[in-house]
Chain A
Amino acid sequence: MTAVHAEWTKLRTLPGTGWLLLAAAALTAAGGAIAANSVSCPAGGCQVDPAKVSLTGIDLGQTVVAIVAVTVVSAEYSTGMIRLTLAAMPRRWLVLAAKAAVVGAATLVTGTVAVLASVQAGELLLARHGITAAHGYQALSLGQGPVLRAAVGSVLYLALIALFSVGVAAAVRDSAVAIGMVLALLYLFPIISNAVSPAWHRHLDQLSPMTAGLYIQVTADLRSLPLTPWQGLGVLAVWAAGAMLAGALLLRFRDA
């Protein structure tokens, strides 16, 4: 518990943290609002997944969450603070666990705010752009099971991205390299899978932390997905666990 308290104090007293988390929430909501605002329904009927549209901003918000999570680890290395931390708490995995817990909790709170704001914005804007009962859509609300799943899942998605980033940062230590690796692993899978044959496309999508993880937001035409939404989020969870494990092992066996 002291470890968590120490990490919380560090996070709280860093000047940028609050602003960054606020920016993450704001970008998520703004991205979702812009996407919802750009929906148009042609005469032939529209094929829109209202929940996914409203939560498009996660694509943007996750990068800020990744910055916060990476910085929590790598800033200690760049200032040399890590030696003090590890001297005070020689059980190194505990330090990493505490960092993960604090960043994860902060992300859960930020994510909840961001997702609630996105759903609200989506509800307002989509209704104005033809996603109405007349086109066979219910108003977007958290009362619907799939929408609730998409919303809760998106918050969890952000938290898993934070854990993933903490793990990568613990493994590579330098903030620029760590954030580069996190973004590469998130963005490259969809780009590469777009360039290969359909069979491989499907396999790559199943492996991709971002593509598979975001299946949790899909509420329409679930059958076309190569995984169920929760399986998809599970893929991201495996990536996060793998990164945390690699980070913990390297932290344990390497000189700080």
Chain B
Amino acid sequence: MTMLAPYRSERQTGRDGFTQLLRAEWTKFRTVRGWVIGMLVAALLIVGLGILTGANSECGIQLTPTSPSLACPAPPTGPGAGWVTDSFYFVRQPLAGDGSITVRVTSLTGLYWTHGVTPAGGSPTAGMAPGVQPWSKAGIMIKASTRPGAAYAAMMVTGSHGVRMQWDFTHDVAGSAGQVSAASPRWLRLTRSGDTITGYESADGVHWTRVGTATLARLPSTAQAGLFAASPGYSVSSTSLGGSSSTGGPTLATAGFNQVSRLGSWPAGRWTGQAIQGVTDNALPASAQGFMKAGGRLTVSGSGDIAPATDNTNSVKQTLAGTFAGLIAVVVIGVMFITAEYRRGLIWTTFTASPRRGRVLAAKAIVLAAVTFATGLVAAAVTIPVGEHLLHENGNPIYPLSILTVTRIVTGTAALLAVSAVLGLAVGTLLRRSAGAVTAVIVGIVLPYLLAVIPGVLPVGVGQWLVRVTPAAAFAIQQSVSQYPQVKATYTPGTGYFPLPPWAGFAVLCAWTALALILAVVLLRRRDA
């Protein structure tokens, strides 16, 4: 009895390494003319719409719909890169070299218009109701010069956020809480030593607590030091379905100081009052501000704010509106990258050649992501400088962004497109139907953004929630101006602020994509091709 050896093919088994798979998928992608054209279309849409928005966004106030817009002046730039609001009333005198100033704040009151009605004539404060704003602030300040945007450090009492030390617009450190009054005054002290300014506070003038230490770069040897008051604009926005509106106007804060004491060299010897007017929107005219000196008591009235600018509209980011068009194009390609195989029956060949289906999907995802990322990177990198140039030509001031922020926006846009395309691929694998998959992904990414951003469609809360949990959260990656807790502003997706930080928002999209990919692999394995 002879045992027959089982048949074995003499042929070498073909290699089915992952590199071969990648190469196979890349060959598929690059040889379908429609997909290559689709990628080009995506890039052209991003750049083209960027040019369109850049060329048509004129700054400023249009007196009539046909008249040319007025060019608007750029706000002052702070010691950091960004724009700042710097308008307040400053009662100052030069301080040569090191020294310190100490005051006792006994009151902080305010005036505001309840319905934003500005009276036609008479006193600028006529008709205002008494009331201090939460971020009305008054206290002492050491500032490099009286130029708006110059470096400073200040100790202050606020309307309802207690004692604060703030410096160089973006820094804010909380001291003790509570409101100031004649019964509970606050002592504030600023001490300069070289470039370092230290802020102290005290409830009794005897026991002092250090609040913060600021290092101001290039502080001149003679700085301006003194008392200040500022009060940011008051606004009530009633945002609801059917429209949003906001009413409000400038406000005034008045603070009472006494027991002002100075150490060091103060060559002028007398106080000079001056309204610093960095950005005059939401600040009362200089005539409404001022100071009074009676006995040992100083009263300072000021309007405006000392804060980073939160207006997000004059940013190059707005020229990236074409991202949405590009996104729709790459999602269509991503979906077709798998559904076309099902439609043509190529999927059988693919899975016969490479039976490990998860690896096939991984290879597809990598090829698709790489191609889309490269396309998006080129498109965004072209759009930003071109858009910036056009905005500049049209007289728009452009928010100065650091190179890091620009890099984040450009690579983030490319990554957003790449991950969206992969989400399209995964959903296409799940549904195997192009129309349904394309719709699901676009509705998942674009519609929540649209509903959250277009004013008056959804209440703000619902809109915020949408751009937190849906894949649309990823558009946070394009946010260009930061949100500051010490500045009251309308922080909504409509004004360019997302509830999640940039990379966290992007992570939400990645999580959805990962989930869809896992489901797709599971179904791909269990299901007949």
Residues of A near any B CB (own CB < 8 A): 34-35, 38-42, 44-49, 52-53, 56, 59-60, 63-64, 66-67, 70-71, 74, 78, 174-180, 183-184, 187-188, 190-192, 194-200, 202, 220-221, 224
Could you say which of B52, B53, B438, B451 contacts A180, with CB atoms under 8 Å apart? Answer: B438
Could you say which of A47, A60, A194, A202 contacts B243, with CB atoms under 8 Å apart? Answer: A47
| Contact status B459-A38, CB under 8 Å | yes
CB distance from B45 to the nearest CB of A (A): 9
- B65 neighbours in A (Cβ, 8 Å): 199, 202
| Contact status B242-A192, CB under 8 Å | no
Could you say which of A35, A176, A194 contacts B458, with CB atoms under 8 Å apart? Answer: A35
| Contact status A187-B461, CB under 8 Å | no
| Contact status B238-A44, CB under 8 Å | yes
- A44 neighbours in B (Cβ, 8 Å): 236, 238
CB distance from A158 to the nearest CB of B (A): 15
Contact with A along B232-246 (1 / 0, CB 8 A): 000010101111110
- A39 neighbours in B (Cβ, 8 Å): 240-241, 459
| Contact status A179-B242, CB under 8 Å | no
| Contact status B343-A78, CB under 8 Å | yes
- A49 neighbours in B (Cβ, 8 Å): 241-243
- B236 neighbours in A (Cβ, 8 Å): 44
Q: Which residue of A lies closest to B66 (CB)?
A: A199
CB distance from A86 to the nearest CB of B (A): 20
| Contact status B238-A47, CB under 8 Å | yes
Q: A38-B458, A47-B244, A63-B447 are in contact. List 14 more A-B contacts (CB 8 A).
A: A35-B241, A38-B462, A48-B242, A53-B241, A59-B447, A67-B436, A78-B343, A177-B34, A180-B328, A184-B325, A187-B447, A190-B454, A192-B52, A200-B56
| Contact status B69-A42, CB under 8 Å | no
- A192 neighbours in B (Cβ, 8 Å): 49, 52-53, 321-322
23 inter-chain pairs at a CB distance below 8 angstroms, sorted by A residue, are: A39-B240, A47-B240, A52-B241, A56-B458, A64-B439, A66-B439, A67-B436, A71-B435, A74-B434, A174-B336, A175-B438, A176-B332, A183-B442, A183-B446, A184-B328, A190-B454, A192-B52, A192-B322, A194-B321, A196-B52, A197-B58, A199-B65, A224-B243
Residues of B near any A CB (own CB < 8 A): 34, 49, 52-53, 56-58, 62, 65, 69, 236, 238, 240-245, 318-319, 321-322, 324-325, 328-329, 331-332, 335-336, 339, 343, 433-439, 442-443, 446-447, 449-451, 453-454, 457-459, 461-462
User: Given A35-B241, A191-B324, is A183 in contact with B453 using a C-beta cutoff of 8 Å?
Assistant: no
| Contact status A197-B69, CB under 8 Å | yes
User: Given A40-B459, A183-B439, A199-B65, is A191 in contact with B321 using a C-beta cutoff of 8 Å?
Assistant: yes
| Contact status A195-B318, CB under 8 Å | yes
> How far apart sit A189 and B236, CA to CA, in the bound complex (Å)?
30
| Contact status B435-A176, CB under 8 Å | yes
Closest 7 pairs between A and B when the two form their complex, measured CB to CB: A49-B242, A176-B434, A180-B332, A195-B321, A175-B435, A196-B56, A175-B434
- A70 neighbours in B (Cβ, 8 Å): 435
- A176 neighbours in B (Cβ, 8 Å): 332, 335-336, 339, 434-435, 437-438
- A220 neighbours in B (Cβ, 8 Å): 242
Could you say which of B62, B336, B458 contacts A199, with CB atoms under 8 Å apart? Answer: B62
| Contact status A180-B454, CB under 8 Å | no
- B450 neighbours in A (Cβ, 8 Å): 187, 190-191
> How far apart sit A58 and B225, CA to CA, in the bound complex (Å)?
61
CB distance from A74 to the nearest CB of B (A): 7
> How far apart sit A79 and B305, CA to CA, in the bound complex (Å)?
66
| Contact status A179-B439, CB under 8 Å | yes
CB distance from A71 to the nearest CB of B (A): 5
- B339 neighbours in A (Cβ, 8 Å): 176
- B52 neighbours in A (Cβ, 8 Å): 192, 196
- B325 neighbours in A (Cβ, 8 Å): 184, 188
User: Given A35-B458, A59-B447, is A180 in contact with B241 using a C-beta cutoff of 8 Å?
Assistant: no
